[in-house]
Structure 1
Amino acid sequence: MKVIAVIPARYNSTRFPGKLMEVLGNKTVISTTYQNVVETGLFDEVFVATDSEIIFDEISKNGGKAVMTGQHETGSDRIAEAVKDIDCDIVINVQGDEPFLKKEPLRQLIEVFSEDHAQQISLASLKIKLNDLAEIQNPNNVKVITDKSGFALYFSRSVIPFHRDLADDVQYYKHVGVYAFRKEALLRFASMEMSPLEISERIECIRYLENGMKIKLVETDFVGVGIDTPEDLERAKRLI
């Protein structure tokens, strides 16, 4: 089973344009992420997929592998274009603005496919418990609910499940945007049109669910620093 990692990297982020080229320690955010993924030793190859010549040149000049793509609505669509001619079985999508992702969650995602002998799982991803009410209600945190086997039922920026009876003990989970795809499932995803639900929530996983594809969620306790705002960057600088 050949496993590769692809880091989708868009320069003009809506909330924080140019964030991937901000300096973190002595390297840019995107170079830090790329190096950390390579150093896990889990992947046969690691690529950055971008529509930005600035990011392409940043990775290339530092000895990394980058692929130029067109413009896309989602990271998965970008990765699908990047990998269509690359020989691989499993593709791990690591967000370019998550520089501190650890090895163990990535290993767990790969293991999902190693154990899926019937090849029923199209996509695996991560979830983490949410306990703070403000974090649960924050629409920037995508919530996920699963069945008893850990397969996704739905993703939403709203609070799900709705806590009607406060006497009941309900656990909330945040979806961590790290994905592991079967290559054929990823290419199939890219051939499908966005649905009104996906467009409304701005959550690409919904496209998989609406087309009957299985998503396995793996629980993690890893809390990284996603760099979505200048304040997040300052937090990451303090961490590094």
Structure 2
Amino acid sequence: MNILGIIPARYASSRFPGKPLVDIAGKSMIRRVYEQANKSKSLSAVVVATDNAEIFDHVKSFGGQVSMTREDHASGTDRCYETLLQQPGTFDYVINIQGDEPFIQPTQIDLLASRLDGQTEIATLVKAIHEQETLFNPNVVKAVVSARREALYFSRATLPHIRLTPEEQWLQRHTFYKHIGMYAYRADILKQITQLPISTLEKAESLEQLRWLENGYRIAIAETTEETIGVDTPEDIARAQTLLTKA
């Protein structure tokens, strides 16, 4: 099975312009993500998808594969589809790897790839939540998972609601999951979901995966025990530097 790893890397960002090029302990963030992805045993190829000439030239400078895409894409999923169309050869699946997670583990990519069997339409990662702060943080997206290990829903709210139970006891009553935003798409499904109009649930939660669920697509779940740490703001760089120093 041929799986293409794509790392969307957009220059513009309201909170952190130029984030892919920021230096983290001697290497740019996009280079660190690219090098981690290339350690995966499951990917046939890895390519950065960008809309910026500076990022494009930078990836070329360290020997990485990169594709130039349009600036007007609404999401990384749309950027992935344009990049897929630019590639030589045929791929069965695409894995969308977040460009702001320099600590992504190749084992997490391989775990996600293990859910891909030709029948799986879309797959993503979750991690069990063990801390109250994470559980009730509206910036952390939660996933509700079925007995078949498929996604039932994603929300910024804490779901499910444990009725008649104090909140400090919720973690003792149910396994809650944090969503880790790495997606695998079957190639034909990737084409289909980029053509869907924005849905009401997507608007409500500002989560594009709800558009797919609302239109009847099935999202398989793989559960990781490894933590990933994203870089969302300039303040996160110091934390990333510290982690690399300790490694």
Cα offsets for 1:44-88 (capped at 9, x unmatched): 111011111121111112111111111211111111111124321
Paired AA for residue 45 in structure 2: E
Give the TM-score, by structure 1 length: 0.93
Cα offsets for 1:177-217 (capped at 9, x unmatched): 11111011111111111112112212111111011111011
Higher deviation after alignment, 209-218 or 14-23:
14-23
| Equivalent position of 1:84 in the other structure | 85
Cα offsets for 1:142-161 (capped at 9, x unmatched): 10101111110100111111
Could you tell me how far apart the structure 2 residues matched to 1:122 and 1:84 are?
Answer: 18
Higher deviation after alignment, 36-45 or 53-62:
36-45
Equivalences for residues 18-97 of structure 1 within 5 A = 18-70=18-70, 71-86=72-87, 87-97=90-100
Give the TM-score, by structure 2 length: 0.91
Alignment match of 2:112 (pick from 109, 112, 127): 109
* SS of equivalent to 1:92: strand
* SS of equivalent to 2:138: coil
| Equivalent position of 1:211 in the other structure | 215
Q: Any gaps of 5 or more consecutive residues in structure 2?
A: none
Q: Does 1:200 align with 2:204?
A: yes
Cα offsets for 1:133-173 (capped at 9, x unmatched): 22112121110101111110100111111122216702211
User: Is contact 2:5-2:43 (8 Å) kept?
Assistant: yes
- Quote the offset at 1:12 in angstroms: 1.4
Could you tell me how far apart the structure 1 residues matched to 2:137 and 2:36 are?
Answer: 29
Question: Percent of aligned positions with the same letter in both sequences?
Answer: 38
Could you tell me how far apart the structure 2 residues matched to 1:206 and 1:81 are?
Answer: 21
| Equivalent position of 1:176 in the other structure | 180
User: Is contact 1:100-1:225 (8 Å) kept?
Assistant: yes
* SS of equivalent to 1:175: strand
Could you tell me how far apart the structure 2 residues matched to 1:6 and 1:140 are?
Answer: 25
User: Is contact 2:111-2:224 (8 Å) kept?
Assistant: no
Q: Any gaps of 5 or more consecutive residues in structure 1?
A: none
| Equivalent position of 1:189 in the other structure | 193
